[in-house]
Structure 1
Amino acid sequence: MRAMRPLFADPKTDFVFKKLFGTEEHKPLLMALLNGLLELDEAHRVVEVELLSPEQRPVVQELRSSIVDVKCVDARGTRYVVEMQVLNVEGFEKRVVYNVAKAYTTQLQRGQHYPDLDDVIGVTICDFELWPRPESPHVPMLSRWCMQEQHSGARGLGQLQFIFLELPKYDTTRPPRTPVEKWAYFFREADNLEMVPEVLAERPFVDALEAARAAGFTEEEWDAYIRAGMAIQDERGALSLATREGEQRGLQQGLRRGRQEGRQEGRQEGRQEGRQEGRQEGLRAMRAALDELLRQRGLTPGPQERARLEGCEDLGTLQRWLVQALTAASLTEALR
């Protein structure tokens, strides 16, 4: 028995993302996305795009990896590498820079010259925090990156530029107001919607929702969409398992180091102070491991929780908190 389809498919998956922003049929959606995320004024808006891949795309494209991209060029010659990344993988920022730089350098054909090179802008939508919020300085949900002279702050060498939209940084406490916020809301919530919300009941968002309407998918397209979602979950599960195993190894190493240093210090000093120093080192190592795990899971301790962590003098309690934090959905659950 087939599962009931949601009203709208998830635009973050490979198949739907390319269906919405990588086909001739929906080029107006791609232009609207670029104009919205680049926050271009009327005089500089993208008015035409040409998809750089001329070959005929197959009707159904299954997920090859969690990285999807659409390359295009606008009427002024500026090139864009537009991609959706659902998982944070090692070396992701380097891969983004590499893709944009490659799009820049491969423009020149034999007999052409450097003045023929067009600017390239990488537009990346992330379903994770690439620059976590607790870090300083704070990087906003929509960030722009280009070269800058370090002494004067003057900007130049704008041939390569980067734009990132980090979806988890969307403010869920109020309705979306700006085009950027509405695009973030669309990507985050489309597959959970049971109707077209008032905040998206305007073009181009209503057109994007209509293109993502699951009822319009053929059985073949729907099966490909389901397989794409399952592939993402498999990748996410593999990353989670690797992270958990790494955290457990770190915990065990921290415990062994703390105990070993405590014994060595005790033997060398022959005094209670030595054993106490070793115990304190073990506590510090355990607190550091727990603090790093909470940070990775986005569970930032407030002043009260921080005081509990710093004041805990029991290795067993800290170890129990570490184990709970591996699966906890909230800070309260992690430190209960």
Structure 2
Amino acid sequence: MRTLFVDPKTDFVFKKIFGTEEHKPLLVALLNGLLELDEVHRVVEVELLSPEQRPVVQELMRSIVDVKCVDARGARYVVEMQVLNVEGFDKRVVYNVAKAYTTQLKRGQKYPDLDDVIGVTICDFELWPRREMPHVPMLSRWCMQEQHRGAKGLGQLQFVFLELPKYDASRPPVTAVEKWAYFFREADNLEMVPEVLAERPYADALEAARAADFTEEEWDAYIRAGMAIQDKRGALSLASKQGRAQGWQEGKQEGKQEGRQEGMRAMRAALSEVLRQRGLTPGPQEQERLDGCEDLGTLQRWLVQAVSATSVSDALG
């Protein structure tokens, strides 16, 4: 049985709502809302990058929507919806934005031709947990700052994060940021259009997420996307439990370093099991690469990719 609205946090739906020519006004509204831009600097038009314009960078291709947004300054934006928190995610965001900046220059172009790049990331988890960093709000903005006097500069790279779990559900949403957070968190649980989302652009976003308008093929793709997320959560949970259990036992006997090594061995075992269940067999070089990996973040990323990969090379990409 279909819900009234689908979950906009799944990659398929996020692309459908914010990454198509038909719904470009929704992307403009989302950017203006999350960037809290005044009238002078508001985004007025967006141009979705064609496949030929996208940087050929594996990590950057994993962003849900990679767009070129034209505002008063001609800035570019990398927009991403991230459901699962994986080790090194913040570094990946910085890498993606930096790549989007450096790959602008073609042969013969000069540095003044570079446009600013702003990463806009919506997280369905706390990237900066409240218990550790209580002063980081639900919507945070990051840019370079001079450390002695606090002067802001070098704004060519900027980062905006919306952490959905920090939304205050004890009261109705009031600001544009709160309404977008409410939309992402609650859309698939709604049984009617709530009054707080009855105006544009939120009502238009809900209309684009209306399940009844999905074709059978789109609905099947949506269900598969949701199942893939659950599979990835399960794989990460399994690897985490195995790594903690075996690493802790080994750590008690032979010290923390050996315990860490045992934890990585458990992660490799979980990755091998996922590949086996999907009928994927590593070749000699791929197996050597898997066995020789000593970076826990890389192993975790491979595990997430293996859940939906169609080949071992995709999983280890």
TM over 0.5: yes
Whole-angstrom distance in 1 between the partners of 2:14 and 2:37: 22
Q: Distance in 1 between matches of 2:51 and 2:242?
A: 45
Counterpart of 2:18, as a letter, is F
SS at match of 1:228: helix
Find the counterpart in structure 2 of residue 170 from structure 1.
167
**Offset at residue 248 of structure 1 (A):** 2.2
5 Å matches for 1:283-298?
A: none
Q: Answer yes or no: is the 8 Å Cα contact 2:42–2:71 preserved in 1.
A: no
8 Å CA contact retained: 1:69, 1:83: yes
Range with greater deviation from structure 2 (166-175 or 247-256): 247-256
Q: Does 2:44 match 1:47?
A: yes
- 2:223 aligned with 1:226: yes
Q: Does 1:74 align with 2:73?
A: no
What is the CA deviation profile of residues 172-221 of structure 1, one whole-angstrom value per residue up to 9, with x for unaligned ones? 11111110011001001101101001111110000000000010000001
Partner of 1:205: 202
Report the Cα distance in structure 2 between the residues aligned to 1:228 and 1:48, rounded to whole angstroms.
Answer: 29
In 2, the alpha carbon distance for the partners of 1:113 and 1:70 equals 23
Give yes or no for the alignment of 1:126 onto 2:123: yes
The alpha-carbon distance between structure 1 residues 66 and 231, as it changes in their structure 2 partners (threshold 3 A), is farther
State the shift of 1:252 in Å. 3.2
Q: What amino acid sits opposite 1:216 in the alignment?
A: D
* Structure 1 equivalent of residue 241 of structure 2: 244
Q: Which amino acid aligns with 1:221?
A: E
Query: How far did 1:151 drift?
Result: 0.9
Aligned to 2:106: 109
**Retained in 2: the 8 A contact 1:67–1:86?**
no
1:87–1:43 distance in 2 versus 1, CA, 3 Å: same
In 2, Cα distance between the equivalents of 1:152 and 1:20?
Answer: 42
Output the CA distance in 2 between the equivalents of 1:137 and 1:175: 22
Letter in 1 for 2:110: H
Give yes or no for contact 1:66–1:86 (8 Å, CA) kept in 2.
no
How far does residue 256 in structure 1 lie from its aligned partner after superposition? 5.5
Q: How has the CA–CA distance of structure 1 residues 222 and 97 changed in structure 2, closer, same or farther, with 3 Å as cutoff?
A: same
Q: 2: CA distance between counterparts of 1:139 and 1:243?
A: 27
Question: How far did 1:13 drift?
Answer: 0.6
8 Å Cα contact 1:72/1:79 also seen in 2: yes
Secondary structure of 1:102's counterpart equals helix
- Over residues 103-157 of structure 1, what are the superposed CA-to-partner deviations in whole Å (9 max), with x where a residue is unaligned? 1111111111111110000000001110101013521110000001111111100
SS at match of 1:220: helix
8 Å contact 1:29–1:204 — kept in the other structure? yes
* 1:54/1:185 CA distance change after superposition, 3 Å: same
Is it true that 1:21 corresponds to 2:18 in the alignment?
yes
* Distance in 1 between residues matched to 2:7 and 2:133, nearest whole Å: 32
Gaps of 5+ in 1: 56-64, 259-336
Q: Secondary structure at the match of 1:50?
A: strand
Cα deviation 1:303-333 (Å, max 9, x = unaligned): xxxxxxxxxxxxxxxxxxxxxxxxxxxxxxx
SS, match of residue 160 in structure 2: strand
SS of equivalent to 2:119:
strand
Q: Which stretches in structure 2 are left out of the alignment for 5+ residues?
A: 53-60, 256-317
* Counterpart residue identity of residue 37, structure 2: L
The CA deviation string for residues 15-50 of structure 1, in whole angstroms up to 9 with x for no partner, is 110011111100000000000000011121111111
Question: How many Å separate the matches in 2 of 1:227 and 1:9?
Answer: 13
Q: Which residue does 2:138 correspond to in 1?
A: 141
1:154 match: 151
Q: What SS is found at the alignment partner of 2:100? A: helix
Instruction: Name the structure 2 match of 1:99.
Output: 96
CA contact (8 A) 2:140 2:161 kept: yes
CA positional deviation for 1:69: 2.8
Q: Percent identity?
A: 82
Q: Matches of 2:133 and 2:230 in 1, distance apart?
A: 31
TM-score w.r.t. structure 2 length?
0.74
SS of alignment partner, residue 64 of structure 2: strand
Specify the code of the residue in structure 1 equivalent to 2:89.
Answer: F
